[in-house]
Amino acid sequence: MNTISRPSFRSLNQEGIVFAIAVVLFVVAAIGLPGFIDPNNLVAIVRSVSVLGILALGMAVVVIGRGIDLSAVAIMAMSVAWYLQLLNTGTPDGLAFAYVLAGVLAIGLLNGFLVAYADVPAIFVTLATGSFVFGYVRSQLITQDAVPVPQGHWVELLGGRRFLDIPIEVFVFAGLAFLFFLFLRYTKWGRYIYFAGDNPVAARNIGIPVRPMLVLRYVLSALVALIAGLLTAASLHSINTRVVNSTLLYDIVLVAVIGGIGLSGGRGGVRNVLVGAALIGILLNAMTIIDIPLLYQNLIKAAILLGAIIVDGIINPRDEQTAQQGDI
Amino acid sequence: MKFIRTFMAAATALAVTAFVAPTFAADDPGPAAYAQALKGKRVMLVPLAMGFDLAQGWAHFLKKEVEGWGGVFETRDPNWVVDAGAQAITDAISSDTRPDVLIIHAPDLNSYSKLMKKAQAAGTYVILVDNPANFPADAFVGSDWDRLGQLEAEAAIKGCGENSSKKLGLVQGDQANSSSLYQYAGIMKVLDKHPDFKVVAKPDSNWDATTSRNVTTTMLQQNPDICAIIDFWDGDATGASAAIRDAKLDGKVFLVTTGGGEKAADCDKLQDGTYGAVVMTDLARQSGDMNAIIKFLLQSGQPAGTSHTYIYTLEKATTKADLKPDSCWDLKALQAEAAAK
């Protein structure tokens, strides 16, 4: 507990709490679990949350702008499944990729358009487009849940790439995190996202192009999902569309929210995603080393989440001044 | 056409036999009784999902046979969602075209028990396939998962050899699905007889390849000298194999799994050394067993829920050494055949 010097409870927000929990877990695991502190294991931890973290970055940008993207996992799995299916049936690589990229952009634009211009709540729009993407691709474009990567294809080779013995996903995650950090912190449009998320009406009144920016965020999220899907396929040499039915989507929201990005928008950043991902990564790795059955793992994960939220609720109570309109 | 030609040929053969040996009856009563009992009967398959090799293989063989005897074959696709499967079964039972035989691939031991009871009460025969459930179905056709686990453990022990670390890792499915629970029990039975072999870790994959990869990475990190890993399904064993590849332990860790014996999923991966051994289900024979029991039940005249038969499919652990051209069936070929029709 030396890392946080005498926390004054007033300034400790959820990010701080989660960071403290992560550090405590890390120290306990490092002392108590043999092999946990091994550099290879630490790399494995980062790698295990890389794809999750990348998806959470996309989600974070959308959530900060007071939205949510429930179609991320469907876009991730189905775009890559379609891409691989096209390759397996003999479509030239460039053309196949162009199709898929166009499809992903189209869904991102559709999400953004419906939220920004048709004023449909994001939660319903993306829930619907996610189901649509899954249903359409699964029934019309691919024949199997699992689509293999053709032998010798660049996606397969990508999965074997290492720098300094560290898998490529880790670098992609780090690179994207840095880019998103620069975007959110130092670009005008990045700053505008916070204004729009905090108070959309005021943002619009001072002349910020709120609607085009909304569209941009959903397109960004869709593209990030495509990257996450390609990395998944690279590592496993196939993509299984069953992942759409898994808890991955909730885990993405979890990583973003537990790190302290409020669902009401306007707060948080890349650091929150990293803190959330670190906690989940350390937790899952430690529980796997101890060999805790999956049922208990979910219970423990949920309990820690709930604990963090409750502590946050006690330390930072909501009142009329801090509460925002449009809180989910 | 083929049926008519066969029928004509059979009729001619019968006529000739009747002429040569007039002491025999002129008419075999079998075909007529068979046709009367079966014609127009409805068979419905409700698997966990239609999108994976086992279900597509079953559907192919069942459809061919059922339509062959003039029945109606249908499938429902719950797409791995238990509720959707329950809805499909409920709708089927209460619809005007209630199936005469319902073939159910149960997601766990208990979920569909009440519905299956309802189906039987309505007069529909219930056949459980692949996954056992806590319900006395008219028949269970599938693997003896306990025995299957034993075969996996034996293959793993053989793959390790006597001079190995004798450390095994398991990647289980989950703690609810009977196939996972019984597989584990079977593995443990064999290991009781080989006390020198130890299971050093037994995480769950939740049948997800990415999870399988992550837990296997951790497992190999903690125990780099593991000599064999048993992953409970070829659907997620791609993850375990990726972890082995990433740890640069290919050839050192013997990966055992089980699957439907589909070419791309199993045989190709035995061939390229990804899997050391696969306990494969003979899918064509398993489907044949289902077809036989369907024909029996429909002719038996017995009320649904009377018999409780177990028909276990013969399982075998296949390695690269005993791989034959016909060890696997080819889903692509079946799909091409279906598309050509």
Mean pLDDT calculated for residue range B185-214: 90
Which residues 6+ apart lie within 8 Å of A223 measured at CB?
A58, A104, A105, A108
Residue A169 lies in a domain: yes
* CA–CA gap between residue A288 and residue A160 (Å, rounded): 24
Identify the segments of chain A with pLDDT beneath 70.
1-12, 312, 315-328
Map tokens 């994976």 to a residue: B52
**pLDDT tens sequence across B215-225:** 999 899 888 89
| C-alpha–C-alpha distance, residues A239 and A248, integer Å | 14
| A324 found inside a domain | no
Q: Give me B99's structure tokens.
A: 């199936």
Tell me the chain B residues in contact with residue A242 when contact means C-beta distances shorter than 8 Å.
49, 51, 80, 207-208
Specify if A322 maps to a domain.
no
CA B203 to chain centre: 24
Write down the pLDDT at residue A77.
92
Q: pLDDT of B19-46, one tens digit each? A: 555 555 578 888 888 988 888 999 999 9
B109-131 pLDDT, tens digit each: 888 999 999 999 999 999 999 98
Q: What local confidence, expressed as pLDDT, does residue B292 receive?
A: 94
CB contact under 8 A, A295 and B175: yes
Distance CA A52, CA A50 (A): 5
| Residue A218 within any structural domain of the chain | yes
Radius of gyration for chain B, computed over Cα atoms and rounded to the nearest angstrom: 23
Say which residues have a Cβ less than 8 Å from residue A180's Cβ, sequence separation at least 6: A57, A60, A61, A270
Please state, in angstroms and rounded to a whole number, the distance separating the CA atoms of residues A226 and A232: 10
B12: confidence class by pLDDT, cuts 50, 70, 90: low
B210 and A51 within 8 Å at the Cβ level: the answer is yes
Return the SS3 of B167.
strand
Q: Using a CB–CB cutoff of 8 Å, tell me whether B235 touches chain A.
A: yes
Structure tokens at A308: 């963090």
Touching check for B82 and chain A: CB below 8 Å? Answer: no
Give me the mean pLDDT over the B276-302 stretch: 92
> In A186-323, at which residue ranges do the beta strands (DSSP E only) sit?
238-240
Provide the domain limits for residue A33.
Answer: 9-315
Question: Which pair of tokens denotes residue A246?
Answer: 């898994």
- DSSP string over A156-197: HHHHH-EETTEEHHHHHHHHHHHHHHHHHHHSHHHHHHHHHH
- Judge whether residue B262 has pLDDT over 90: no
pLDDT at residue A328, rounded to an integer: 47
- pLDDT, tens only, B148-161: 999 999 999 998 98
**In the predicted model, is pLDDT for residue B170 greater than 50?**
yes
pLDDT at position B7? 62
Tokens 């299984």 sit at which residue?
A240
Is the confidence at residue B96, as pLDDT, over 50? yes
Q: First vs last Cα of chain B: how many Å apart?
A: 14
Q: What are chain B's domains?
A: 27-143+283-314 (3.40.50.2300), 145-281 (3.40.50.2300)
- Domain holding A106: CATH number? 1.10.3470
pLDDT of residue A318: 63
Q: What is the pLDDT of residue A292?
A: 80
- Overall domain count for chain A: 1
Q: What per-residue confidence (pLDDT) applies to A227?
A: 94
Which position has the token pair 């005993």?
B322
**B39 part of contact set with chain A, CB < 8 Å:** no
Q: Which of A143, A284, A289 sits opposite B335 (nearest CB)?
A: A143
CB distance from B6 to chain A under 8 Å? Answer: no
Give me chain B's average pLDDT, please: 87
Identify the residue among B210, B226, B248 best suited for mutation to test binding to A, counting A beta carbons within 10 A and taking the highest: B210
- Residue A320 belongs to a domain: no
What pLDDT is stored for residue A7 in this prediction? 46
Instruction: Please list, residue by residue across A269-289, b when 16 or more beta carbons sit within 10 angstroms of its beta carbon and e when fewer do.
Output: bbebbbbbbbbbbbbbbbbbb
Helix, strand, or coil (residue B244) = helix
Give the residue from A50, A85, A136, A235 with the most B CB atoms within 10 Å of its CB, the best one to mutate: A235
CA atoms within 13 A of residue B174's CA, in its CB half-sphere:
14
Any B CB within 8 A of A146 CB? yes
**Residue B16's pLDDT is what?**
54
- Note the pLDDT of residue B257: 94
Q: Do B49 and A237 make contact, defined as CB atoms within 8 angstroms?
A: no
Beta carbons of A90 and A96 less than 8 angstroms apart: no
Q: In the β-sheet with B42-46, what is the strand arrangement from edge to edge? A: B72-75, B42-46, B101-104, B125-129, B139-142, B309-312
Are the beta carbons of A285 and B218 separated by less than 8 Å?
A: yes
Residue A40 lies in a domain: yes
E-strand ranges in chain A read 146-148, 162-163, 166-167, 238-240
Please check whether residue A273 lies inside any domain of the structure.
yes
Q: Which of A72, A48, A23 is nearest to A226 (CA)?
A: A72
- Beta carbons of A86 and A139 less than 8 angstroms apart: no
Q: Would you say B210 and B171 are in contact if contact means Cβ atoms under 8 Å apart?
A: no
Confidence of residue B2 (pLDDT cuts 50, 70, 90): low
Say if the Cβ atoms of B217 and A237 lie within 8 Å: no
A111 touches chain B (CB under 8 A): no
Residue A323 lies in a domain: no
